[in-house]
Chains A and B, each alone.
Chain A
Amino acid sequence: MMSKNLRIANSNFIDQTSRISFKFDGKILYGFKGDTLASALIANDIHLVGRSFKYHRPRGIMTCGSEEPNAIVQVGNDASMTEPNTRATEIELYEGLEASSQNCWPSVNFDIGSINNFFSPLIPAAFYYKTFMWPANFWKLYEYFIRKSAGLGKSPTQPDKDIYDHRYLHCDVLVIGGGISGIIAAKTAAKNNLNTVLIDDKNNLGGTTLFQQNECFKINNSYSNEWLKKEIETLDSIKNLTIKTRTTLAAYHSYNYLLARENLTDHLDLNEKKDKIRQRLWKIRAKKVIIATGAMERPLIFNNNDRPGIILSSSIKKYIDYYGVKCGQKISLFTNNDSAYETAISLSNSGVSINSVIDIRDKSNSLIVKQAEKLGIKIHWKHTVVNTNGYKKINSIEIMKLSDDGTAVVGKKIKDECDCLGISGGWTPRVHLFTQSGGKLKFRDVDNVFLPDKSELDQISIGSCNGDLELDEVIKNSVNSINKFLNVNNNDYKNLEIISSKEIDKKNIWLLPSDKPFGKTKPFLDFQNDSTANDIKLALREGFKSIEHVKRYTTTGMATDQGKLSNMHALGIVAETANLKMGELGTTTFRPPYTPLTFGAIVGRNVGKFFDITRRTPIHDWHVKCNAEFENVGQWKRAWYYPIENESMHEAVQRESKAARDSAGILDASTLGKIDIQGSDASEFLNRIYTNAWSKLEIGKCRYGLMLNEDGMVYDDGVTTRLGENHYIMTTTTGGAANVLGKLEDYLQTEWPELDVYLTSVTDHYATVSICGPNSKKILSKVIPDLNLSDKEFPHMSFKNALIDNIKCRVMRISFTGEHSYEINIQSSYGKSLWEKCFEAGKEFDITPYGTETMHLLRAEKGFIIAGQDTDGTMTPVDLQMDWIISKKKYDFIGKRSLYRSDTIRDDRKQLVGLLTDDPNEVLEEGAQIVLETKKQPIVMLGHVTSSYFSPNLNKSIALAVVKNGKKLKGQKMFVPMKNKTINVTITDTVFFDKENKRLNA
């Protein structure tokens, strides 16, 4: 139901036969296909769409594009699909659209927070920083209330159901922006056989020229819009040209790498969106880039310039000429340049009454101003608006004459009634993408604009984003630049006859004077973050000089619009106040994305199970079937423990640990890293990589090795087996496999290219089944009856090739638990059947599957380290009390020299020790600090617990720890202070169980 008729009949772009219903703040409204949410709201006479961030002042639609600071709305009310902070000016209307205002409670019309407006003198720039600094422990209380009142929209609470996509795109020429210059560029490039892509963020091409139908702008005797329309019609027939509309260039990186977001379904009716890809992120590599992003109109900064109904003049023009919507019935325009007169003429031609144009300039004799005067439009030259009235919508303005120097107002105040005020403060070229790509800007004094200067990349800027603001310049300069840039000679646009009104008289005042004293006015700069010119001046008075500091202190330009409308005026006011030249002040840096991107578009399809690779062993299904709980180790899923019935983790691990030592246990060790090493220099290579010596290792024997970094710190460990004269298989930790391979390759390729060594990762090629315990030998003899398992034939730390059901496998007699133990490696595809065979054979011995937790417990009983748990990149082998593994004979190995640096030979380094608690039932927390003295403060922390378990085989708590000078402290009583008690501990040897290693050969 429309209260007033705000639509005119003759729009070419809106289909007034297809009515669309939508909801705004719960109210059902109607618009047409082709509308944006903003144009439909204005057509329904709704201007008040939100409340400002700090003072909760009523705010209305101010623009018609991506620079919109006020009309920020929440779209959708589904917990998984609702989207906050979207610009009503960019949302295409669709059947079923639901949108609501943000930052107001209980409603946009009655907002409790607006009380802040009356207290606004008490809420200056940086109010929060200044007020909530003290007392420091009150912050928790403050934070609750600040969080409640801050923020714009609401995040969805459920996972996003929409589908998002990523794609790559390669092209010769990318043209960004489908306005008149972009169309000329794309056409020229494609016609010269260059693979060209033209993108535009709107739903159709043409930019503002598309609806520029004015006597003052003609090309070859046609209106500029008619000429352009014909140009656009020819694009379809051009080969090599891809056009993407509704596609926003988000980021422009070095090497002409760009990201663009294409909206695929956002404009579709609710029931048409289903099961379609919502947005696609294009990753573009372009050989050449042509930026034709146009310019945006500036506001003017004067007292109370933020009321609903105050709209950029060019946007009023688009609403009437493109959408056929009147922004008001009685419109005033306020300007410092000629472009507002184009709006005035459009309005007048559409039958909207214009109060007057207020122009701060003394005069203008351009074609367009003369045409406006001819239409009888009243102009107040050298006047300014000093105040506006109307709370939820503007209802009048107050006008006064400017003094000659422009710093004050003189004479009598004129009151003018109006329901809409168009403002125009000139134009700002959209140089955002140019600066994102690393380009440097230059300043043009005559109209106060920053323009593209130098760039390292193969790119140009053309049209109004390059500072060509008049139609004839846009065409002529663009054509010349394009021809030069693409090294072509396109004469299609050479002899055009162009009529274009020329702006000669220019004047700019960054902060317009008022009859009220400065402190009593509210000239808003950043509409979204609610900062005023007063805030900027306050920051300068308080000593901030750099524009980057002023920006952060006042939050000007830091809202979701990145200050698209406010940055220039902030710079201008700083320059004026600090008496600096604009060009010298520099600019703030524009960062990607140009407009906010959805998280969905950024992650694309990499969500849920596609977020990261999940690696499963060939035996995984068996573990699942047997109720294993899993632990993530890198990308691997490893069986953690196997609870029976209602067993807790602790109960399961205690049972598994006991069973493995009492009879037999079985572990899936397939995740261990495995690197196949071959070549005539393989032994020499291992000599250089590991701390111990390898040349004399017999074929068929295994050896444990420690790998250091060049700084002497332990990096990884594992058992390596000599399979043949020049053939080894190395095992690494599960998490370290990829890095170890990388490190070995690095040394081979860069330091020792003369070595004849070949490395192959075979981690995934073999499944590894480990059987341990006193009955392991009996079980293995059932699985491989022909293998001689006598200690003489097959001793500890040796290897045999074997056949199981005619399948080749490698059996190593090695142990990480201290038990008599075998590891069988078999081709991955046979992993599960081998496991089942071993399990079946072990049934008579109650073979117990155990997981990583039990493995960790058993090795801790033996004092074996886990690289990465008991070491942290600061432990040398000597710190680990593993001096025996450092070869004294070898001339060099990685990290050797570092083992006797002044720092690594210190006595008081942290060293690995065992810890026993006085109370055998008290299990320490891993990471707990260890101290000698608890009374005297500050308490000196001497080390921490690295591994801690309750050992069922010893029936007491055991722990490994690193302690300063620990080697010499055996028997020393120490303390582990916890939150509510202090635990008494004694330093011991690191081996708790079977110190004589009797069980290895049992």
Chain B
Amino acid sequence: MFLINCPYCGERDQSEFSAGGEAHIVRPKQPTELSDDKWAEFLFMRKNIKGVQLERWNHTHGCRKWFNMARDTSNDKIHAVYKMGEKPPIK
């Protein structure tokens, strides 16, 4: 069970949070101009890497804010948490 450092509330138990999949997938500004393939890429294609992955998380049972997290999927180590709109602090 992770201990997650919510950027707004501080360290809280994982049970207060929910995961929201891969981060930094921006909704296209002009979806109507995309080909089926390009739209499908936005809609369906997600990475599932072994190693540090950038993910969206929501403090569902807390401040209800969305934020991003850099988590190593091989050992669950959280390398960084950062607010929506901020650049990932690590590569």
Residues in A lying within 8 Å of B, measured CB to CB: 253-255, 257, 285, 438, 456, 710-711, 742, 745-746, 749-751, 753, 891-892, 896-898, 901-902
Flag if B85 contacts A753 (CB, 8 Å). yes
Residues of B within 8 A of A751 (CB): 26-27
Flag if A749 contacts B66 (CB, 8 Å). yes
Residue in B closest to A709 when the chains form the complex, CB atoms:
B43
Report the bound CA distance from A440 to B41 in whole Å: 38
Residues of B within 8 A of A901 (CB): 36, 39-40
Flag if A285 contacts B3 (CB, 8 Å). yes
Residues of B within 8 A of A902 (CB): 36
Residues of B within 8 A of A892 (CB): 30-32
Complex partner residue of A456 from B58, B75, B85, CB under 8 angstroms? B75
Flag if A897 contacts B31 (CB, 8 Å). yes
Task: Tell me whether B16 is interfacial, beta carbon within 8 Å.
Answer: no
Residue in B closest to A711 when the chains form the complex, CB atoms:
B43
Nearest chain B CB to A744 CB, angstrom units: 11
Flag if B40 contacts A746 (CB, 8 Å). no
Number of residues from B at the complex interface, CB < 8 A: 26
Residues of A within 8 A of B75 (CB): 254, 438, 456
Flag if B65 contacts A749 (CB, 8 Å). yes
**Chain B 50-91: CB-based contact to A (< 8 A → 1; otherwise 0):** 000000101010001110000000011100000011000000
Flag if B43 contacts A750 (CB, 8 Å). no
Within 8 A of A (CB), among B1-58: 1-3, 13, 20, 26-27, 30-32, 34, 36, 39-40, 43, 56, 58
Flag if A897 contacts B56 (CB, 8 Å). no
Having A254-B1, A742-B60, A750-B84, one finds 6 other A-B pairs with CB under 8 Å, namely: A254-B75, A742-B58, A750-B66, A892-B30, A896-B31, A897-B39
Report the bound CA distance from A650 to B27 in whole Å: 49
Flag if A253 contacts B1 (CB, 8 Å). yes
Flag if B56 contacts A750 (CB, 8 Å). yes
Residues of A within 8 A of B39 (CB): 897-898, 901
Known contacts being A253-B1, A254-B1, A438-B75, is A898 close to B43, with CB within 8 Å?
yes
A-B contact pairs, 15 of them (CB 8 A): A255-B76, A710-B43, A746-B20, A749-B65, A749-B66, A750-B56, A891-B32, A892-B31, A892-B32, A896-B31, A897-B31, A897-B39, A898-B39, A901-B39, A901-B40
A-B residue pairs, 3 tightest by C-beta:
A897-B31, A257-B1, A255-B3
Nearest chain B CB to A900 CB, angstrom units: 9
Complex partner residue of B58 from A710, A746, A897, A898, CB under 8 angstroms? A746
Residues of B within 8 A of A896 (CB): 31-32
Report the bound CA distance from A749 to B63 in whole Å: 12
Flag if A255 contacts B85 (CB, 8 Å). no
Report the bound CA distance from A438 to B75 in whole Å: 8
Residues of A within 8 A of B30 (CB): 892
Flag if A746 contacts B1 (CB, 8 Å). no
Complex partner residue of A254 from B2, B26, B36, B84, CB under 8 angstroms? B2
Flag if A254 contacts B76 (CB, 8 Å). yes
Residues of A within 8 A of B64 (CB): 745
Residues of B within 8 A of A456 (CB): 75, 77
Residue in A closest to B77 when the chains form the complex, CB atoms:
A456
Report the bound CA distance from A901 to B40 in whole Å: 9
A255, A891, A898: most-surrounded residue (chain B CB, <10 A): A255
Nearest chain B CB to A435 CB, angstrom units: 14
Residue in A closest to B18 when the chains form the complex, CB atoms:
A742
Residues of A within 8 A of B20 (CB): 746
Report the bound CA distance from A255 to B4 in whole Å: 10
Flag if B3 contacts A257 (CB, 8 Å). yes
Report the bound CA distance from A65 to B48 in whole Å: 44
Residues of A within 8 A of B84 (CB): 749-750, 753
Report the bound CA distance from A285 to B13 in whole Å: 10
Residues of A within 8 A of B31 (CB): 892, 896-897
Residue in B closest to A253 when the chains form the complex, CB atoms:
B1
Residues of A within 8 A of B13 (CB): 285
A749, A751, A897: most-surrounded residue (chain B CB, <10 A): A897
Report the bound CA distance from A898 to B13 in whole Å: 37
Report the bound CA distance from A489 to B64 in whole Å: 45
Residues of A within 8 A of B40 (CB): 901
Nearest chain B CB to A816 CB, angstrom units: 30
Residues of A within 8 A of B32 (CB): 891-892, 896-897
Nearest chain A CB to B71 CB, angstrom units: 11
Nearest chain A CB to B41 CB, angstrom units: 12
Flag if B36 contacts A255 (CB, 8 Å). no
Residues of B within 8 A of A285 (CB): 3, 13
Nearest chain B CB to A498 CB, angstrom units: 38
Residue in A closest to B26 when the chains form the complex, CB atoms:
A751
Report the bound CA distance from A253 to B1 in whole Å: 6
Report the bound CA distance from A891 to B30 in whole Å: 9
Report the bound CA distance from A742 to B60 in whole Å: 8
Report the bound CA distance from A455 to B40 in whole Å: 41
Residue in B closest to A168 when the chains form the complex, CB atoms:
B13
Residues of B within 8 A of A255 (CB): 1-3, 76
Flag if B66 contacts A746 (CB, 8 Å). yes
Residues of A within 8 A of B58 (CB): 742, 746
Report the bound CA distance from A891 to B26 in whole Å: 18
Nearest chain B CB to A529 CB, angstrom units: 31
A746, A749, A901: most-surrounded residue (chain B CB, <10 A): A749
Report the bound CA distance from A595 to B61 in whole Å: 32
Residues of A within 8 A of B26 (CB): 751
Report the bound CA distance from A751 to B66 in whole Å: 11
Report the bound CA distance from A255 to B75 in whole Å: 10
Nearest chain B CB to A777 CB, angstrom units: 42
Report the bound CA distance from A892 to B29 in whole Å: 9
Report the bound CA distance from A896 to B30 in whole Å: 11
Residue in A closest to B83 when the chains form the complex, CB atoms:
A749
Report the bound CA distance from A751 to B40 in whole Å: 18
Residues of A within 8 A of B1 (CB): 253-255, 257
Nearest chain A CB to B61 CB, angstrom units: 11
Residues of B within 8 A of A753 (CB): 84-85
Residues of A within 8 A of B34 (CB): 897
Nearest chain B CB to A117 CB, angstrom units: 46
Residues of A within 8 A of B60 (CB): 742
Residues of B within 8 A of A253 (CB): 1
Residues of A within 8 A of B43 (CB): 710-711, 898
Nearest chain B CB to A257 CB, angstrom units: 4
Nearest chain A CB to B83 CB, angstrom units: 10
Residue in A closest to B56 when the chains form the complex, CB atoms:
A750
Report the bound CA distance from A331 to B43 in whole Å: 73
Report the bound CA distance from A897 to B27 in whole Å: 11
Report the bound CA distance from A864 to B37 in whole Å: 34
Report the bound CA distance from A898 to B32 in whole Å: 9
Report the bound CA distance from A898 to B2 in whole Å: 36
Nearest chain A CB to B26 CB, angstrom units: 8
Residue in B closest to A438 when the chains form the complex, CB atoms:
B75
Residues of B within 8 A of A257 (CB): 1, 3
Residues of A within 8 A of B65 (CB): 749
Report the bound CA distance from A255 to B84 in whole Å: 25
Report the bound CA distance from A746 to B31 in whole Å: 19
Report the bound CA distance from A257 to B13 in whole Å: 10
Report the bound CA distance from A753 to B27 in whole Å: 13
Report the bound CA distance from A753 to B75 in whole Å: 33
Residue in A closest to B85 when the chains form the complex, CB atoms:
A753
Nearest chain B CB to A799 CB, angstrom units: 29
Report the bound CA distance from A749 to B64 in whole Å: 10
Residue in B closest to A258 when the chains form the complex, CB atoms:
B1
Residue in B closest to A901 when the chains form the complex, CB atoms:
B36
Report the bound CA distance from A742 to B84 in whole Å: 16
Nearest chain B CB to A318 CB, angstrom units: 36
Nearest chain A CB to B59 CB, angstrom units: 11
Report the bound CA distance from A254 to B34 in whole Å: 43
Nearest chain A CB to B6 CB, angstrom units: 14
Report the bound CA distance from A521 to B77 in whole Å: 50
Nearest chain A CB to B25 CB, angstrom units: 10
Nearest chain B CB to A946 CB, angstrom units: 26
Residue in A closest to B65 when the chains form the complex, CB atoms:
A749
Nearest chain A CB to B57 CB, angstrom units: 11
